[in-house]
Chain A
Amino acid sequence: MGTVCNWDWAGECGVRLVLGDQPSAETTDRLLSLKAHLAAALTSGIVDQVVGYTTLTVFFDPSLVSRDSLVSLANQWSDNDQEQPSASQLPARQITLPVWYAPEAGADLLPVATELGMTPSELIAIHSQRDYRAYANGFAPGFCYLGQTSEAIARPRLRTPRRAVPPGSVAIADRQTAVYPSSSPGGWRLLGRCPLPMFDIARDPPNRLQVGDTVRFQPISKTEFIALGGLV
């Protein structure tokens, strides 16, 4: 590995650093390590750092940080990174999200199972018996892209997205999975619902999931869903 940082501008106040073509747990580790490196090296001038699947976009104040120094800091990290066998030793949190999988909670559970030629229980087992990595936070507050799902349950998005997906919907698209934090339009296929809020401004940080987390879904009953605060 040890790809030297590829980069490009993201507007006059942003640099987009690219670490690979395909998302992977390793790429995410490296993106987090680069993010930490820049945050430590530049104590002022960085406004925001957004981790994507294969990119780290750094937003900065050009009056406090020169573009050249930012890019050379990133390149300096790349050089060091090549010498280190393991890119980072960042502790990954283990998060379990309870999910009420049922046709009543996930409108696509039965159609997707039918399309895949399996029973809903088989689909639920494949979705829930796997650890996912949190690749990126974005799109909406509390929306976290998780991957990768088993190839055996990969399904494309709906051709016409739903106008409103129920809050807490647990969904799949291609080899990704996520929880819709609030009611929003969405084209992913819905398998169930998670009763826990994914974003709460009263908490710090407000997002339940952080990039780098290891996430597993735990099937629960409707009764448990309600007991955990889920609204039916």
Chain B
Amino acid sequence: MGLEVLSVELLATVQDLGRQGTLALGVTSGGAMDPFAHRLGQRLVGNPTSAAGIEIAQGGFCARALTDLVCCVTGAKVEIAVAQTTGFGGNTNGANVKPVPQGTAFSLKAGEVLQVSRAHEGVYSYLAVAGGIDTDVVLGSRSTVTREGLGGHNGRSLRAGDQLPIGEQRGDVPTHTPIASNLPRQTLTLRYISGFQSDLAAPEAEGCLTRTTFSVTGARDRMGVRLKGEPIQTGLETLWSEATCPGAIQVPPDGQPIVLLNDRQTMGGYPKLGAVIAPDCIRLAQAPNNAEVVFRRVSPEEADRVSWLERQYEFELSRSLNRDGVENK
């Protein structure tokens, strides 16, 4: 079972739900930037949600099935097509290209080519393959951290010619109507829990954070997203290095906040005013450049209620898949 990468426009990496318990080693959590879309895709091809898939940043990805496969694309909105190859190098004949919908499984026969367009909306798309991408598990996960050369396919992002092993298909592929992606609106409210140096910082620092409308800049990657707005004066110097966390709102000396995400460095010395809650980190990761962002402070208990609701929504969604009937492949 296998899949050969034919082209990658920007960045594609093998990801699963990331690593747990490795921060003390200095190894970052990593994992799908939109774990909701990733898990949905895995469910739609009958995999356990712990299986690994391919995360495609900004779309633009092409791969050929080396064996008969069942695939699904979720997350950022892209056009997907399956093409018959007419020769080496994945050359496709336009007449033999058929579009397939997003958010539902489709079959990709041996030799057929999957084409994923650039993203129209959202940033990260997920390609799930029944059986899962079966690269080696490193420190409990298949997620790639390119900065450390760790996990995934030889520790690096995918490029043309890479042949990825696919695991044995075990689960049934559910039948259902395609599930639309859940992508953020233009203005994004990031709920955050105040913490870290918020009490040590100048009293007006957190006020500035919650009153300012920031915008998402192009300085963004799997490590974090830099925002632009009224500079926040924390009045704090560099600190003794301490643990960072997902969603940490880091304020460097220029006052422009950076929200740290999955591939952040595990430790840092810049002041932090709090951390964006997990579901809103997903929305930020999927937000387009220049999107407007505001911060709203919530209590840890409110964060728990939000994650409970999100889990409930996901549970109902996965239950509805099974209610629609299961097709044996």
Please give the distance in Å from A167's CB to the nearest CB on chain B.
Answer: 11
B149 & A54 in contact (Cβ 8 Å cutoff): no
Cα A137 to Cα B25 with chains together (Å): 6
Interface bits A115-146 vs B (CB < 8 Å: 1, else 0): 00000000000000000000011111111010
- Chain A residues with CB below 8 A from B193, complex form: 9, 11-12
Chain A residues numbered 10-35 whose CB sits less than 8 Å from any CB in chain B: 10-14, 16, 22-23
Cα A55 to Cα B23 with chains together (Å): 14
B242 & A141 in contact (Cβ 8 Å cutoff): no
- Chain B residues with CB below 8 A from A206, complex form: 25, 139
Q: How many residues of A contact B (CB 8 A)?
A: 39
Cα A57 to Cα B322 with chains together (Å): 40
Residue A77 CB within 8 A of the other chain: no
Looking at A11, A47, A145, the one whose CB has the most chain B CB atoms below 10 A away is A11
Residue B52 CB within 8 A of the other chain: no
A49 & B242 in contact (Cβ 8 Å cutoff): no
Cα A81 to Cα B274 with chains together (Å): 29
With A10-B245, A139-B265 already in contact, the answer to whether A51 and B24 are too (CB < 8 A) is yes
Interface bits A139-181 vs B (CB < 8 Å: 1, else 0): 1111101000000000000000000000000000000000000
Interface bits B286-315 vs A (CB < 8 Å: 1, else 0): 000000000000001001100100000000
Please give the distance in Å from A53's CB to the nearest CB on chain B.
Answer: 4
Residue A62 CB within 8 A of the other chain: yes
A50 & B243 in contact (Cβ 8 Å cutoff): yes
Residue B62 CB within 8 A of the other chain: no
With A140-B148, A201-B138 already in contact, the answer to whether A207 and B25 are too (CB < 8 A) is yes
Interface bits B66-90 vs A (CB < 8 Å: 1, else 0): 0000000000000000000000000
B265 & A140 in contact (Cβ 8 Å cutoff): yes
Residue B198 CB within 8 A of the other chain: yes
Chain A residues numbered 23-76 whose CB sits less than 8 Å from any CB in chain B: 23, 47-55, 57, 59, 62, 67
Instruction: Give A144's nearest chain B residue, CB to CB.
Output: B26
Please give the distance in Å from B308's CB to the nearest CB on chain A.
Answer: 9
Given contacts A140-B147, A141-B150, 17 further A-B contacts (CB under 8 A): A8-B196, A8-B199, A9-B193, A9-B275, A10-B195, A10-B275, A11-B277, A16-B196, A48-B20, A51-B24, A55-B240, A138-B26, A139-B266, A140-B148, A141-B25, A141-B26, A184-B147
- Which residues from chain B sit less than 8 Å from chain A, CB to CB? 20-27, 138-139, 147-150, 193-196, 198-199, 240-243, 245-248, 265-268, 274-275, 277-278, 300, 303-304, 307
Q: List 12 A-B contacts (CB under 8 A).
A: A9-B274, A9-B275, A11-B246, A12-B277, A13-B245, A14-B245, A16-B195, A48-B20, A50-B243, A57-B245, A59-B23, A207-B25
- Which residues from chain A sit less than 8 Å from chain B, CB to CB? 8-14, 16, 22-23, 47-55, 57, 59, 62, 67, 136-143, 145, 182, 184, 199, 201, 205-207
